[in-house]
């Protein structure tokens, strides 16, 4: 038997890692990167979904009784309402296990929540006369009435409590760097070639401005919800209690949860708001990806040094290296996040006739989409924290590319030619002959300028110009950042 076969056979006979206790996470988010994404567990995990369902079911029961929707059913006391809401507040490991045990019998997750709450209600309101209260748990609801509201509450919490604060802190860091470097001149590169100088601060400000604009869209996102029955007609509601204003009951309940009421749906809430939100999140991710690749490039050019908080091994074999791993890790996770966000956006807006279950399986990936984005934000922020600008390297590149001033000279000549100053013909062509395909130095440019016959003021201004001073309004433009 060959050594290759031996190695393979040995691995196949090894203890199954699936049997290791505690259980090993299959994915990196719940394994290697758990610490970064853990706050999302409170919002987008399977137990968080069940806790949200418990919350919605309890609030629906309270809403029905508070508004006396069903004739003859008493209102809950303040003590009973507090006890029911405490079920949500104290929801933890024991409740997760109990719900799991019930679901193994019901084979239906929402029905398991209903039975779980009926047990709790019997303890809270134990007298025989109150036994009927349990029938108002999940009253006139289809599972999607509970699920759509639960997901809306969960996603809203994940966005506002976890994702937005992290994203906002990253953009604040980038804005701070832009302001600090507003006047540090930088040789710009368009198409990878030396171009009109700018400042490092202005270039970072462009990225911060773009990211902030996407954050404003996400901050303004709507979270929609519905509660209108099996096909969105309030059929069961009217059959049970024909005298109630069910549209008003539904609207006021959805708004009580802090959501926007959707009055027209099939069995499912149409998920358009989710598609809109995920498209905005993906766009933020894409701009952040652009930031990562640009900063990576500046690091490779020596414009930034990775020095602070970089107690890491850069290369396993080359001791001198400090690899820009934070930005590379961010790029990869942004791409995974966007793949998920894109498929969520595309799939969730589709439903066969009044209902199919593709959305149910799809929405279980929302946490992963947010998790990879959050991980990328964390890496990008840590990467920025570890950078120091190197103005000397930027200055050296500027000093080695005097030909970029050709634009300034020919533009001044054009203006003079338009004013009727003689001798200013074909400025572009003359500068092209001087600069294209060759490096020139300060002496070459000054000699050329002084031989053009320019008015004295213009000649002196252009002769005194350097690549480092040819930055236009770049330092002032950073003021546009909020």
Q: What Cα–Cα distance (Å) separates residue 443 from each residue in 319, 414, 439, 464?
A: 42, 23, 12, 11
DSSP state for residue 299 in the 8-state scheme: H
Selected catalytic residue, list 2, 16, 191, 361: 191
- Using CB atoms within 10 A of its CB, is residue 84 exposed (0-12), middle (13-18) or buried (19+)? buried
CB 411 within 8 A of CB 418: no
Contact between 225 and 260 under an 8 Å Cβ cutoff? The reply is yes
Assign 60 to helix, strand or coil: helix
What is the DSSP pairing of strand 260-261 with strand 304-306? unpaired
Would you tell me the crossing angle of helices 46-66 and 78-89 to the nearest 10 degrees?
Answer: 170
- Out of 9, 108, 300, 315, pick the active-site residue: 315
Task: Report yes or no: 360 and 352 within 8 Å, Cβ to Cβ.
Answer: no
Q: How far is CA 355 from the centre of its chain?
A: 29
Backbone angles phi, psi at 268, to 5 degrees: -105, 150
- Secondary structure class of 308 (helix, strand, coil): coil
Task: Give the chain's length.
Answer: 482
Residue 191 falls in the annotated catalytic set:
yes
3-state secondary structure of 450: helix
95 CB-side CA count, 13 A = 22
Concerning whether 315 is annotated as a catalytic residue, the answer is: yes
Q: Which ranges constitute the DSSP H helices of 302-441?
A: 325-348, 358-363, 366-385, 391-399, 406-418, 427-435
Of 375, 378, 371, nearest to 42 by C-alpha is: 371
| Catalytic residue IDs | 191, 315
């Amino acid at each position: 038997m060959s050594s290759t076969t031996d190695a393979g056979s040995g691995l196949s006979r090894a203890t199954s890692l699936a049997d290791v206790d505690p259980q090993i996470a299959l994915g990196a988010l719940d394994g290697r990167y758990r610490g970064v994404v853990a706050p999302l567990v409170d919002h987008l995990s399977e137990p968080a979904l069940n806790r949200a369902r418990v919350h919605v079911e309890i609030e629906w029961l309270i809403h029905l009784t508070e508004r006396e929707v069903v004739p003859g059913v008493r209102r809950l006391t303040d003590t009973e309402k507090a006890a029911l809401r405490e079920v949500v507040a104290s929801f933890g490991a024991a409740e997760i296990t109990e719900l799991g045990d019930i679901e193994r019998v019901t084979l239906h997750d929402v029905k398991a929540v209903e039975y779980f709450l009926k047990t709790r209600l019997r303890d809270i309101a134990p007298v025989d006369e109150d036994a009927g209260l349990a029938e108002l748990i999940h009253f006139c609801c289809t599972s999607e009435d509970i699920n759509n509201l639960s997901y809306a509450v969960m996603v809203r919490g994940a966005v506002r409590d976890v994702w937005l604060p992290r994203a906002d802190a990253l953009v604040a860091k980038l804005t701070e760097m832009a302001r600090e470097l507003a006047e540090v001149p930088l040789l710009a590169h368009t198409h990878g070639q030396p171009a009109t100088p700018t400042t490092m601060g202005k270039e970072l400000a462009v990225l911060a401005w773009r990211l902030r604009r996407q954050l404003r869209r996400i901050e303004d996102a709507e979270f929609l919800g519905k509660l209108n029955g099996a096909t969105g007609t309030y059929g069961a509601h009217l059959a049970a209690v024909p005298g109630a204003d069910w549209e008003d009951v539904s609207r006021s309940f959805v708004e009580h949860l802090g959501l926007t009421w959707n009055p027209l749906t099939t069995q499912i809430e149409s998920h358009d708001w989710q598609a809109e939100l995920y498209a905005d999140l993906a766009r933020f991710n894409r701009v952040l990806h652009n930031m990562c690749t640009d900063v990576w490039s500046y690091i490779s050019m020596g414009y930034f040094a990775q020095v602070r908080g970089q107690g890491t091994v850069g290369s396993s074999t080359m001791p001198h290296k400090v690899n820009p791993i934070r930005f590379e890790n961010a790029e990869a996770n942004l791409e995974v996040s966007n793949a998920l966000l894109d498929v969520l956006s595309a799939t969730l807006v589709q439903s066969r006739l009044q209902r199919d279950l593709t959305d149910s399986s799809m929405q279980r990936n929302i946490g992963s989409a947010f998790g990879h984005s959050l991980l990328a934000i964390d890496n990008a922020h840590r990467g920025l924290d570890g950078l120091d600008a190197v103005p000397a390297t930027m200055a050296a590149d500027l000093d080695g590319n005097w030909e970029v001033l050709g634009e300034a000279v020919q533009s001044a000549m054009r203006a003079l030619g338009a004013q009727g100053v003689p001798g200013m013909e074909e400025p572009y062509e003359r500068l092209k002959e001087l600069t294209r395909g060759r490096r020139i130095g300060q002496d070459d440019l000054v000699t050329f300028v002084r031989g053009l016959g320019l008015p004295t003021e213009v000649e002196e201004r252009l002769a005194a110009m350097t690549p480092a001073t040819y930055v236009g309004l770049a330092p002032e433009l950073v003021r546009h950042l909020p």
